[in-house]
Structure 1
Amino acid sequence: MHVRLALVLTLATAFIGLYAAQDFLWQRGRPPANFFEQVVWALTFFWIFPVLPSLLACVGMLLHRPPRETPLLPMPIPVCFRVVSRGQNAAVLRETVLNVREQMSRLRLFPYRIEVVTDIPVELAISDDLVRLVVPTDFRPSRGTRFKARALEYARCQSNLPTNAWILHLDEESRITPSLIAGVRTAVLEEEESGRFRIGQGTILYHRNLRRNPILTLADSLRTGDDLGRFHLQQRLGVTLFGLHGSFILVRNSVELESTFDVGPAGSITEDAWWALVQMEHGRRCRWVDGYVVEQSPETIRDFIKQRRRWYVGLVKCVLHAPTRLRYRLPLGLTLFLWSVSWIGVLAMYLDLIAGQSTLPVVRVAGNFSFAAYITSYVFGLKMNLDNLRPRPWLLRPLRLPLYALQIALIPFFSIVEALGVIYGLLSPDSGFHIINKPGRSDAVTPHAWVHVRAAAAVACLLTGVIVASHLPPTSPLAQAVVHLPSVTGFASTQRSPSLPTSVAPVTLPEQSTGNRMQAAMTAAGFQGGVTLYVDSAGGGQQDLAWSAQNLFQRLAGLGANSVGVAFPVFMAGVAASTVYTDPQQTPTTGTLSTIIDAAHRQHLAVMLRPILDEQTLMDPQGDWRGTIRPADARHWFASYGALLRQYAQIARADQVEVVDVGTELNSMQGDAAAWRNLIADVRAVYPGQVTYSVNFDFQQLGFADALDFLGIDAYYPLNVPEGASVKQLESAWLTWISDLNRLGAMAGRPAVITELGVRSEPGAHLKPWVWYTRAVPDMGEQQRYYEASCSAVSQAVAGIYWWLVTLDSPYADALHDTSYDPLGKPAEESIKACFSRWLPPLTTRRRG
């Protein structure tokens, strides 16, 4: 019971640990931002495929019980240990024969004999318990069977074993254990009593070379875990759903004589699986045999990969050509299909490491469960190997914990090597039978351990570098160095990621500029991290405007911002008016704007100038707003609005403003693309910088988007989660809208920048972020959680964010009792700092003035 409890705890710990690791590495996970990441996102669906075999493996491990240690009486039924080998590893064969004799002398529970079947003669000491069978070179089975199957068929035909004897098939390096002897005795007696004569198989351990070859020995812990999981379950069910191993097959001689190993060339690569399928077709069933056989892992990574390649290619041939009904081949075919695509899931996992993208919750659960079961199979397999390891002075109990830690740490390396075996089989389906080198104890061997340690360390360093690189801000020096590599530049020119746009950069400043050259370079490098200042007074509403602006922008720069939007109102006399005008009291003057722009540049903040059509004279009970204006004379309206924009374009040119926003949320006017193109052309005629337009989040089409440098989006998306929702819930709610953000950018064919994002600091503000006129009790946590979740959700889907909004009075003295959008002086201010610190480098250049 304690083993099962440990198994459940391991599985649960791995499952929860994967979530914790993912949340630690990527506090948000982000949606795919370009075509390449869309492909990676689609590939993550391959994580769902291993769920069924993982579930079966967990069930099998939970049902497994260690062999019982009870006194047993000898039985009269003979057992033959049949060892098949090509004969090239003579020393290993001699050790195997010696091992059988030693173990049987200690626990003689049945009469036995050893049969050694080889292709070439091997010098073995003559003994009554040993029969040597050498396959003649001219032995040709009728179906052209080759390799090990040919030797098995020869032994089947030539052995003089009685029909009631049982045969335990072993490989040349197999070592039997007392538990195996007891398990064979129990299984034989049960089958003789029932008359069913089922085919038996049990667990194979791989701890023999743990000291000399620890890395690949640990890699084969998965095979032991698989025996205790999937293979144990199939033996309990009595049907070989996943085939049989070529070693540790217990079969009655009468059953073997009724069958054949003449399986033809197609079945000669994995003759064990082919033979098992045929036995199922003939009505034979299988069973579990308690006890352990100990074998040896491959000595080199090359042998490891070639071994997996041989298994894969051989099983494909079994599924395609075995002479059985489809229902017997289908489970193995499904398993083989999952194995065939497993490397895609591994590839997706490592590609996703680079970006830390979000996945669908069901995919994440499935992937984490499958990987947790994968980890558990390794750990459970290692436990069984260590529990059955002979006491050795160098392997003390305190070393168990480091071995478990090493086992888990190397799983990424093992998964790559396992995947390479499949890929090798797909690319080079060699029909040969690769024999791996398995030296004996007396052989002089190269100490491979450090070779494998170096290989594993190289993979670990690569993965660490990938993770570190994925956490660098796009504007970091290292990220920029990579972007400018020749091999990267060509790719980047065709795959412009929204997180690293090339067209979003403000125009290079003229030589006479003294304010913001460094900040312009920062914005050119990548992410626009800004806050919008709203100025609704001709003089800025401050006695000392320059001092107020300086204090505000110093505070924003301290948060890590590299940009600021300067928004101000212009007016219409009603929704049907055809003239746009400035108000002498509420629209800032040219001097006011210049003072504010200069103060921003002194703090190295790039400036976006935003005249916004004010809604004071537009809103009415019918629900009109700036997005529903309907001028009586649209042509006159464009002429009036264009004249106003040209004035601000001239101010922008004089003050070296980086971006001019030519319109905000004018939904009803966006359909006249020709008029907007003319308006934008007039602005560009007097202003050399960047031009954008801010659409409302619900727009569908913008016919003049190609005339812009980037698309602005006022992202007041409703997040449909309850009041008081957590950051995680808000992030999940954002996922609904990320595809819409991607759609807007793709439709425009331009990078997308969120020009307005924010909520009021009041309960449930995330449900209707656009509502600015409510009166409710303050809720600082609502605003803070929204800012944190929004940054996590959208930062890498767009080329910039401008939080809405602050004023020259910010922060207010009673900020913690204020319910407005203004985040300064509130907990949300720290969320802004955390957001910008992730995407923007610190300002290290000394500020002017």
Structure 2
Amino acid sequence: MSSPPAPAKVADPWQPGDPQLGAQVLWYAGNETDATVRAKALRVVDYMVGKDMNSLAISFPFGTRAPQANEVAATAATPSVRHLAILMDVAAAAGLRITLRPLLDERTLMAEDPLAWRGSLAPTDRDAWFRSYESFLAPYLSLAARHHARTFVIGAELTSLEDDSRWRGIVSAAGKLFPGEISYDANWDDYVSRRISLPVNHLGVDAYFPLKTLGDDASVSAIVAGWQKWLDRKSTGKLPRILLSEVGIPAEDGAYHHPGVWRDAGKPLNLAVQKTWFAAACQVARDRDMAGLYWWNIDFHADPAAADPRTDVHSSFLGRPAESAITSCFRAWAASASGDR
């Protein structure tokens, strides 16, 4: 039997101290076989290596019944541990740095309350919720330890629960299963408005700073200035312990006013808006000496070679001019980091 094809190799693999230059791969499970998962994993990894990325973050969903529920669990949309391991092994063979990131699926919440989101959870019994969450995380922490992950994101955008002292127990239990870096990803508004005191190694920011005064023809420098103004609300100067865990925007008119809203209906396509935003975000991250940047997102099931920039969902950057901003950003940033070693 012939061996499965090998992935392309990262030319300059990540080393401690280097910026993490990557994308979030969003994976909602279907009915894939192991062979199909391996083929899709190879496809997405080859694409990322070809765009000068050195890091991959895997965002995968889990669920809860309602905002007030006290339990969380894997769902039919959650990839199996075995299938996640396949993607992680392919990424490791390519030399990509790996982050594993559970992400609470909001669809069930919104079915009960259209305004509900993962940041508005209100469990009636927090002890029960945190016990359930710790139990849910355990197999994925063990997976991360066995399959080459450098970072495990202990939570993302769980704004209403961030001040809870029970996180200390969650992080402590995680450390017994996973020896790598434990991080947490905060929503952009939460990051700038208050202190986030989870006992983690690093903090990520899902960075969707709205710039409501800018038109679609805004320059890179104008967007950079808007981002810097937002970040200065929290801290001025360098931010080497902060990671941009999500940077994305739909390629459509008016998106600078609401970069985290994925409309795709009724808004005209605007490819320049997305490219300009990506270029500006990269400049800000480099100016602030941040720990890295992950673009949002690559659908695990998407075929980059078949991307149609005119008809694909507006949130996708595959096949669009924003790709050139990605490669320009990462090539320059990696070259600078290499020169500083």
Verify same fold: TM over 0.5. yes
Give the 5 Å matches for 1:336-415: none
Distance 1:616 1:795 in 2: 35
CA contact (8 A) 1:731 1:790 kept: yes
Within-5 A mapping of 1:229-248: none
Amino acid at match of 2:222: Q
Question: Aligned pair 1:820/2:310, yes or no?
Answer: no
Distance of 2:33 and 2:270 partners within structure 1: 28
Higher strand share: 2
The residue number in structure 2 matching 1:638 is: 130
Gap regions ≥5 residues in structure 1: 1-514, 845-849
Q: CA deviation at 1:729?
A: 2.3
User: Residue 574 and residue 520 in structure 1: after superposition, are their counterparts in 2 closer, same or farther (change >3 A)?
Assistant: farther
Deviation at 1:719, TM superposition (A): 1.8
**Which residue pairs with 1:692 in the alignment?**
183
* TM-score (normalizing by structure 1): 0.36
SS in 1 for 2:140: helix
Which whole-Å CA distance do the structure 1 matches of 2:121 and 2:11 have between them? 37
Superposed CA RMSD:
2.6
1:539 and 1:801 map into 2 onto residues whose CA distance is 31
Are the structure 2 counterparts of residues 727 and 669 from structure 1 closer, same or farther at C-alpha, using a change threshold of 3 Å? same
**Aligned with residue 170 of structure 2, among 662, 679, 699:** 679
Residue type at the aligned position of 1:735: Q
Which fold has the larger relative contact order, with Cα–Cα distance below 8 Å and residues 6 or more apart in sequence?
Answer: 2
> What amino acid does structure 2 have at the position aligned with 1:662?
I
Distance 1:745 1:821, change over 3 A: farther
| Alignment pair present for 1:713 and 2:205 | yes
Q: How far 1:744 sits from its partner (Å)?
A: 11
Aligned pairs for 1:194-593 within 5 A: 522-539=14-31, 544-583=36-75, 585-593=76-84
Counting only pairs closer than 5 Å after superposition, residues 720-799 of structure 1 correspond to structure 2 as 720=212, 721-740=214-233, 742=235, 751-775=241-265, 776-797=267-288, 798-799=290-291
Aligned to 1:597: 88
Is the Cα contact below 8 Å between 2:21 and 2:55 reproduced in 1? yes
Displacement of 1:523 after TM fit? Answer: 3.5
Query: How many residues are treated as equivalent by the alignment?
Result: 321
SS at match of 2:108: coil
Tell whether the 8 Å contact from 2:23 to 2:297 is kept in structure 1 after alignment: yes
CA distance in structure 2 between the aligned counterparts of 1:626 and 1:801, rounded to whole angstroms: 22
Cα deviation digits, residues 420-456 of structure 1 (max 9, x gap):
xxxxxxxxxxxxxxxxxxxxxxxxxxxxxxxxxxxxx
Shift of 1:518: 8.7
2:3 aligns to what? none
Greater Rg by CA: 1
Q: How many Å apart are 1:555 and its aligned residue?
A: 1.5
2:297 partner letter: L
Tell me, in whole angstroms, the C-alpha distance in 2 between the residues paired with 1:559 and 1:642.
36
Deviation at 1:651, TM superposition (A): 0.5
> Per-residue deviation at 1:815?
3.1
Aligned 8 A contact 1:724 1:763 in 2: no
Identify if the C-alpha distance between structure 1 residues 837 and 741 changes in structure 2 by more than 3 Å, giving closer, same or farther. farther
Q: 1:543–1:822: structure 2 CA closer, same or farther, 3 Å change rule? A: farther
Alignment deviations for residues 196-245 of structure 1 (CA, whole Å, 9 cap, x no partner): xxxxxxxxxxxxxxxxxxxxxxxxxxxxxxxxxxxxxxxxxxxxxxxxxx
Q: Letter of the aligned partner of 1:659 in structure 2?
A: T
Corresponding residue SS for 2:316? coil
Alignment partner of 1:661: what SS?
strand
Asked if the contact 2:264–2:315 (Cα under 8 Å) also holds between the matched residues in 1, the reply is no
Q: Note if 1:830 corresponds to 2:321.
A: no
Per the alignment, residue 4 of structure 2 pairs with none
| Paired residues for 1:77-92 under 5 Å | none
Per-residue displacement from partner, 1:684-727 (whole Å, max 9, x unpaired)? 001111110001111212222xx211111111111231123222
Q: Extract unaligned runs of 5+ from structure 2.
A: 1-6
State the partner residue of 1:659.
151
TM-score normalized by structure 2? Answer: 0.87
Q: In 1, Cα distance between the equivalents of 2:21 and 2:84? A: 21
Aligned residues: percent identity? 28
> What whole-Å deviation, never above 9, does each CA across 1:747-776 have from its counterpart, x for those lacking one?
xxx700011111011112121111124412
- The one-letter amino acid paired with 1:753 is L
